[in-house]
Structure formats: C-alpha cells, structure tokens
Structure 1
Amino acid sequence: MLKQDPVENLFAFICSSNNNIQRITGMVEKLCETYGNHLLTYEDVAYYTFPSIESLAEVKVESKLRTLGFGYRAKFIQQSAAKIMKNGGRDWLLNLRTVSYLEAKSSLMTLPGIGAKVADCICLMSLNHSVAIPVDTHVFQIAKANYVPHLSQTKSVTDKVYNEISAHFQSLFGTYAGWAHSVLFSADLRHLRVPPPVAKKRNATDVTKEKPALGRAQRKKK
C-alpha cells in the first residue's frame, strides 16, 4: 500500500477527485487500455501496462479522455503529464523521494488537479514520506470523534482544519504518522471491518470440571 509506483499513483489519484472506488478503477483501466502497452491475454482478459508520462502528455489526450467519461479530470491528467515532462519526467517524480516531505508536497501541488490531500496521498503511498497525513472525509470524522473533539461542530475541512488535523496526528505518531493514518482509515471502512469473535458459551459441564481442579490447587497450597 505504501510502496506504489509514483507515476501510476499520481494519475490514479487525479482520477479519484469526487469519485468512488468503482469509477476510479474503471478510469485507470481505460487509461491502460487506451495508452498502455498490451502485455498478455489470459482467459479472455487483456492486460496492459500503465501509460508512460510521455503518452499522457500528448495534446490530444484531453479530448480523447473526455469521450471516455473522464470529465474535467481529462484536462488535469494531460496538463499534469505535460508539466512533469517539462520538469524532467519520471526522474523528477522519483527525486521527490529524496527531498523533504514539505518540499515534495509543495512540488506536487504545482501540478494541475493536485491539492493538499492528493499531494499527501502521493507523498505517503509512493514517495516514502511516511509522515504525510491525507485528510479526507473518513479521517476528518475519525479526528473529530477520537482525537480533536473541539472540532465536533465543524462541518467541512478547510485549509486550517486540514493542517490542524495533520499536525495533531504527526505530534502523536511522529515519523510514522502516515502508517497510523492508514490503519485508522482502513478500520473505518465498512467493507474492511472484521466482525468481533463470538464468545464461546460455557455450559454447566465446563464449570463442574473446573471446580475439582481449583479445589486440589487450594488444598495443595495449604
């Protein structure tokens, strides 16, 4: 989860804007089918590589992606790819692993369609900045309920609230705050929750069997 390819991670998160997991998955698959290279077909399912930055930077990409249902994200994908290429391509992205977290986040936020949350997601999940705390709706609710109670009446995540929650988690969990975030985030997702174990019912026979053993232990102690 925290060691993803930065190119795939970045463009997948641009697709995530105001979207659900099913649609994001569909968009990533369309990107691969349209601009990736065919790897193999197995049991009638074709598999493709993720597109290169160069292929997504082409001017015609935006109009093509709009016809595929990407909406306004089409522009952000093409423009971000073009800017990354201007900055130095994949090497520029990989170099963000070697700079400070704040510098990496600021650099990512210069790309079209990438705000604070998406930048933090990329920093945490593909650039080795484990201190990053992406604050989305789930994390906002977790923070209000268990960590920052004075925000209980706050309705939305403003820049100030975002930074306050990030700083609070970082003060609690230090360098690995992002790992703690990922555990808390996953635990809050309904489809990932593990039901509590059912306690084994004890019957009269079990209790009866225990009594002589306790009695022997007590007599021996005396």
Structure 2
Amino acid sequence: MIEKTINYFDISQIINSGQCFRMGKKENNTYFVIAGDKYLEISQVGKQCSFYCTEQEFKNFWEHYFDLDTEYEGYRKCINPRDAYLMNAAEFGSGIRILNQDLWEMIVSFLISQQNNIVRIRKCIQNISETYGEKKQTEDGRVYYAFPEAEALAGLEEDELKKCNLGYRSKYVVRTARSVVNGEISLSQISEMPYKKAKEELLKLFGVGEKVADCICLFALHQTAAFPVDTHINQALKRHYPKGFPKRRYKGCEGIMQQYIFYYELLGKE
C-alpha cells in the first residue's frame, strides 16, 4: 500500500467526470479502477490517499495514469477572476485530473459514448471486456477482465457487438479494430503526433467525429489543447460564452477548463 497526501485530487470526481468508464465506488471511501489489464483499489479521505498496490507499480504506472506529477494549482490560477462561472466550475471540480489512458481503449470507449449516457457506456464496456477480454485475478482473488485487444474484435461480424448492447456502434468498433490490425492506422504513430495532426488521423476512423476525436486526444493522448464539445458543453457555451470560449487565454489547457465545465454542468446544478 502506498500512502500519499495529494492536493487537487478527488477520485470520486474523476470517476464521474466522463473520462473513464471502468471506475467505481466499492464501499465507504474505497474505489476501484481498471485500466488496460491492471486493477487498483484506492481509499481517500480528504487529501489522504491510499493506493493498494506495490511501490513499483505505483511509480511505473499509476502515478502517471492519474497525472500526479502535474501541479494543478497553476491551472486554477490562470482562470480569469472576473469569470465567475468558470471560477465556480473549477472550484466545484477541483479534484479532477486529466488521466493518461490507453489510446486503443479510449478510441473504443468514445465510439461507444456517442448518443449514450455514462451508465450505459460503463455497462457496454464491461460487457465487451467480460466477453472478449482476458480474465485476470488479483492476489486476493478478485476476478476482473482486461480490456480486449484490437485483434480480439477485428474478426467479428460487424453486428456481433450488438450482443454487448452496443447497438449501431458495433460496426464502428469492429471496423476500427480491423483498421488497427490491418495496419491502415498506426496507434503508435498517432501517439507521437501533435494535437492537430493526431485529430486529423483519428477523424479518418469510421464513426469518429469532431467530439469523439477531441475526447480521444484529451483523455488518451493528454493533449490538453483539445476542447470536446458535447451537449452539456454546447449549452454552457451558449449561456456563458455566446462569443465563444476564450481559448486564447487558456492556450494549452483548454481541455482542463472543459472538464471543469463539463463536470459542473453534469453535477453542479443538482
């Protein structure tokens, strides 16, 4: 177990921020995270966090995954103090960090996310992981499933994933898996591209539009210049930024501001 005191980190906020769909609450202050083929449990009370893993695994994977080597106070300080809406949004979602996630997993996750809600997306991803992913087991005997590789999905019929509740999105995922396996698109090359070029490549994938491409750039490639616009963001922009979001002021961290706004729109008004 690794114990850390971390500012600007709230695992419950990250779980509900729409970045990742294989996280959840277990009990009391304990949460679980599945990323790729890894499983982690976290307990958090205030700033005190307990990561139930070895120090080596924490250093080699989870520290980077949670973006813990980035100081988020600087992002908060750059917010225009006269922008009361964004100040409130950043305060409400002050524990959100942009995760460093697997590119392939994020491509599939956000293909599935289209015209969908978070609860259903989580269930779809759970279904395909349990059906096509490798069965894994923690040291204490907990069973979980790795996210399926592209090779596991590329040979399926285009409608096969409807059995996992993907609906019309089934063909998006299967065709994209084939593109990866056939070498039509290189995930490793996209990982090295700057934001605009990476987005351009992602838009070539069947079923990937502007919003999905930006989500992948932000949540997989950690390209924080990406600013995904979905229904929640669009409504916020119309109400609070009718002339457009001031991206020039937030150049390089637009995606972090987007997450504050998205989370505030999703949960801050309840």
**TM-score normalised by the chain length of structure 2:** 0.59
Cα offset, 1:94, TM superposition: 3.3
Superposed CA offset, 1:12-71 (max 9, x none): 1111111111110010001101110100279997410000011111133x3321233221
Correspondence for 2:126? 29
What SS does the corresponding residue of 1:23 show, helix, strand or coil? helix
User: Does residue 186 of the first structure (1) align with residue 263 of the second (2)?
Assistant: yes
Gaps of 5+ in 1: 150-164, 196-222
Q: Which has the higher contact order (CA 8 A, sep 6+)?
A: 2
Change (3 A) 1:42 1:27: farther
Superposed CA offset, 1:151-201 (max 9, x none): xxxxxxxxxxxxxx5xx44223101111111111112212xx399xxxxxx
Give me the whole-angstrom Cα distance separating, in 2, the residues matched to 1:42 and 1:142.
45
After TM superposition, the structure 1 = structure 2 runs for residues 1-222 of structure 1, keeping only pairs within 5 Å, are 1-40=98-137, 46-60=143-157, 62-87=158-183, 92-148=186-242, 165=244, 168-190=245-267, 193=268
Larger Cα Rg: Structure 1 or Structure 2? 1
Give me the whole-angstrom Cα distance separating, in 1, the residues matched to 2:202 and 2:126.
24
1:133/1:169 contact within 8 Å kept: no
Greater share of strand residues, 1 or 2?
A: 2
Give me the whole-angstrom Cα distance separating, in 1, the residues matched to 2:199 and 2:246.
17
Change (3 A) 1:43 1:2: closer
Give me the whole-angstrom Cα distance separating, in 2, the residues matched to 1:43 and 1:17.
36
Give me the whole-angstrom Cα distance separating, in 1, the residues matched to 2:207 and 2:220.
18
2:135/2:145 contact within 8 Å kept: yes
1:79/1:112 contact within 8 Å kept: yes
Cα offset, 1:110, TM superposition: 0.6
Gaps of 5+ in 2: 1-97
Change (3 A) 1:115 1:24: same
Cα offset, 1:6, TM superposition: 1.1
User: Please, what is the CA RMSD of the aligned residues?
Assistant: 2.3
**TM-score normalised by the chain length of structure 1:** 0.71
Give me the whole-angstrom Cα distance separating, in 1, the residues matched to 2:115 and 2:141.
32
Give me the whole-angstrom Cα distance separating, in 1, the residues matched to 2:122 and 2:220.
18
1:97/1:128 contact within 8 Å kept: no
Superposed CA offset, 1:92-145 (max 9, x none): 223223212111011001111110000000001111211001001111111111
1:8/1:50 contact within 8 Å kept: yes
1:117/1:134 contact within 8 Å kept: yes
Runs of 4 or more, structure 1, over 3 Å off, are: 41-46
Alignment coverage as a number of residue pairs = 173
